[in-house]
Chains A and B, each alone.
Chain A
């Protein structure tokens, strides 16, 4: 048990170091931020700044300095915000986590019951209609779904705000938009997972004991079907963070995605580094949590 946790933690550190190296390398080949910082200054003035920011040092030196600073939690000062990068990134985290958490919760709330009913009543009209509706959702790109929802609920029906993050009502549309992206796969996983176990011996045995059908389904079948669901949900979380960038743009949500995209456009290295690092950390932690959940759900893993 302990060694499993240790192994996972070591993997976590390796992933983060790898992500930092890749981001650093990509940023190095993506251009010169100084030219963007001083648009009308002559080359001589830019050279001074370049020197003072250490851009003339050999790359390995720059990377080593960068890694050393990270360990101390220092991602450097944003070139454009003139503030330390990490606090800027962390300030945006709650918003993005709330958005992705909302979408994930909504997805699960839709996918699990519908998936169970679809499996229990396989090939019924409900099964077909549910599949059709959910897949309509996923066939549309996120930004399009978002704009359609705005036009319907905000412009035509006037029941929700168009965009922003100032009230609870403003969370509904971005949450729903992002959920349309993640629901279908989860639904499929629940449905097929349930189908796999629903006719197994132990389920039949439970039924034979005279336990009520819903108790059988929820207690005996679902616990086993939940394993693949948890795995996929963990992976989906990373994808949702990516999808959140588009959703944040459409709905003017002040999240991490917009900060990073803006920083990439301006080659604001410290912000990009800190942002990618924090997102990678979250994804790795979520999957770490998934692993732990596995142990809880499936005692066999504990023994191995």
Chain B
């Protein structure tokens, strides 16, 4: 018995002392994320949930406005000196959370850290075009790329600058777990993994103090739990509210919904190497077969916009003159007959997008109705899907997916992974076989002449709309559920830039 009591006492001690429920306090903003990233080191992961936390603790060289314009952040001015060299002026009198002052050496160190292959940073691929970062003088840094790199500025919007002295002093592991130090609006207090990340306003932040003194990121994996938390005031902001839950929060006295179109396009990539999608009329028929307007209205709470190609309205290079395929079942059947399938054809489509399973299945039904008899196959988004993808597309005729461009607002960020045949690329190398497309994509990514790039992307959009390497569907909205105690609005880049959040006036 005595032993048992000792054991029970040990368990009791395992529970941390309980502070008062902080979220009820007025100067605290609590956000629910589905999980925490494995590290707070902003360079050593590439996960949305981690980025959302990091941006509130670290600044990058550039910032992006809610209108998607580049704004100065740690860089006050920037210009291209040549096709492969950029100059950045670094903001003066910026303090790190530990009191140190930001120098160009910290900027150089941050880049070198990710470019150092022994550190195995998952962000290495984002900036590997950078050949060298040079400190020119006390306020100037030059970034030199190995070839023209038009996406450089995009990549710098999330490229947090860390303190060289601090990281070297505490080491990589401590920096990512117990002592992350940046220049952002909030500084680190504590991290209980998969429970909460507690931050506190940084008094010396160069923009001025943020409106909320405390910022907490809780890890709440279950959507139903998140919704219950918003209703009871345990959490102030939740993300990714699904279409079926929107009415519930819209009508709740304690909460509201904020929604905005984001950079995420839905598509079905078609395997152009094998029958039946090796024939252009079949691919076009598939595009005519989908009643996009109905899906958006009935299944996505109206929160979607039809697209002509996978290049989205929010991305640089988008051409509004290229129009979406209309829903036309008769035309689809004609095209199918023309391609030699008057009695229809069987195909199998794959998806791992659990949230959009009903949409995926409805789409398979619509294809079936025009004669493309589609069997939808759902995969668990974890290892099973990963393995399926690595089987190099041998097993598939089509793949339903969504692509968020990794938050790069540029046509290249969707065209290259989806359609370019370069070995080592993403699914494009297995699925897409559009004559001449690779060359155009390469040409557009190897110049920083924006008007020229725009012309090339127009040409590409006309080309892929005609060749239809995908079924082009719609773009998605991001929907936040927000407590009425807080004023905030969803951003088109899916960021939670909480410096803009304010206590609601009451």
Bound together, the chains give a CA A49 to CA B192 distance in angstroms of 30
- Chain B window 244-273, contacts with chain A (Cβ cutoff 8 Å), 1 for yes, 0 for no: 000000000000000000000000000000
Nearest-neighbour CB distance to chain A for B364, whole angstroms, equals 26
Interface residue? A279 (CB, 8 A): no
Known contacts A101-B11, A161-B234, A163-B220; is-contact A254 B225 (Cβ 8 Å): no
For B18, the chain A residues whose CB sits under 8 A away are: 166-168
Known contacts A82-B39, A101-B11, A168-B18; is-contact A252 B383 (Cβ 8 Å): no
For A49, the chain B residues whose CB sits under 8 A away are: 120
Bound together, the chains give a CA A55 to CA B125 distance in angstroms of 21
- A258→B221 contact, CB < 8 A: yes
Known contacts A82-B173, A82-B176; is-contact A164 B39 (Cβ 8 Å): no
Bound together, the chains give a CA A41 to CA B122 distance in angstroms of 8
- B219→A45 contact, CB < 8 A: no
Known contacts A31-B383, A39-B125; is-contact A155 B222 (Cβ 8 Å): no
Interface residue? A265 (CB, 8 A): yes
Nearest-neighbour CB distance to chain A for B191, whole angstroms, equals 11
Bound together, the chains give a CA A151 to CA B248 distance in angstroms of 14
Bound together, the chains give a CA A164 to CA B218 distance in angstroms of 8
- A155→B232 contact, CB < 8 A: yes
Known contacts A80-B38, A166-B19; is-contact A30 B383 (Cβ 8 Å): yes
For B381, the chain A residues whose CB sits under 8 A away are: 265
Interface residue? A147 (CB, 8 A): yes
- B386→A262 contact, CB < 8 A: no
Residues facing A in B136-177 (CB within 8 A) are 172-173, 176-177
Known contacts A155-B231, A265-B382; is-contact A164 B195 (Cβ 8 Å): yes
- A45→B11 contact, CB < 8 A: no
Interface residue? B5 (CB, 8 A): no
Interface residue? B451 (CB, 8 A): no
- Chain A window 235-266, contacts with chain B (Cβ cutoff 8 Å), 1 for yes, 0 for no: 00000000000000111101100110010110
- A44→B120 contact, CB < 8 A: no
For B384, the chain A residues whose CB sits under 8 A away are: 30
Bound together, the chains give a CA A164 to CA B406 distance in angstroms of 31
Bound together, the chains give a CA A147 to CA B220 distance in angstroms of 13
Interface residue? B454 (CB, 8 A): no
| Known contacts A171-B15, A254-B194; 6 further A-B pairs (Cβ under 8 A) | A30-B383, A32-B387, A35-B389, A42-B424, A82-B39, A147-B224
- Which A-chain residue is minimally distant from B221 (CB atoms)? A249
Bound together, the chains give a CA A163 to CA B228 distance in angstroms of 9
The stretch of A64-72, A92-100, A181-189, A205-213 in contact with B is: A92-100
Known contacts A41-B128, A98-B14, A164-B218; is-contact A32 B225 (Cβ 8 Å): no
Q: Which of A40, A80, A150, A166 contacts B225 (CB 8 A)?
A: A150
Nearest-neighbour CB distance to chain A for B242, whole angstroms, equals 15
Interface residue? A219 (CB, 8 A): no
Nearest-neighbour CB distance to chain B for A49, whole angstroms, equals 6
Known contacts A98-B14, A252-B225; is-contact A30 B387 (Cβ 8 Å): yes
- A38→B176 contact, CB < 8 A: no
Question: When A and B form their complex, which 8 residue pairs have the shortest distance between CB atoms, in order from nearest?
Answer: A94-B14, A40-B125, A41-B125, A43-B424, A254-B195, A80-B38, A42-B424, A167-B18
- A154→B228 contact, CB < 8 A: yes
Bound together, the chains give a CA A35 to CA B292 distance in angstroms of 33
- B232→A42 contact, CB < 8 A: no
Known contacts A82-B39, A82-B173, A154-B228; is-contact A44 B386 (Cβ 8 Å): no
Interface residue? B45 (CB, 8 A): yes
- Chain A window 73-91, contacts with chain B (Cβ cutoff 8 Å), 1 for yes, 0 for no: 0000010111100001001
For A161, the chain B residues whose CB sits under 8 A away are: 21, 234
Of the A-B pairs whose beta carbons lie under 8 Å apart in the complex, a sample of 5, sorted by A's number, is A98-B11, A150-B228, A163-B228, A166-B16, A250-B225
Nearest-neighbour CB distance to chain B for A256, whole angstroms, equals 10
Q: Which of A166, A258, A264 contacts B383 (CB 8 A)?
A: A264
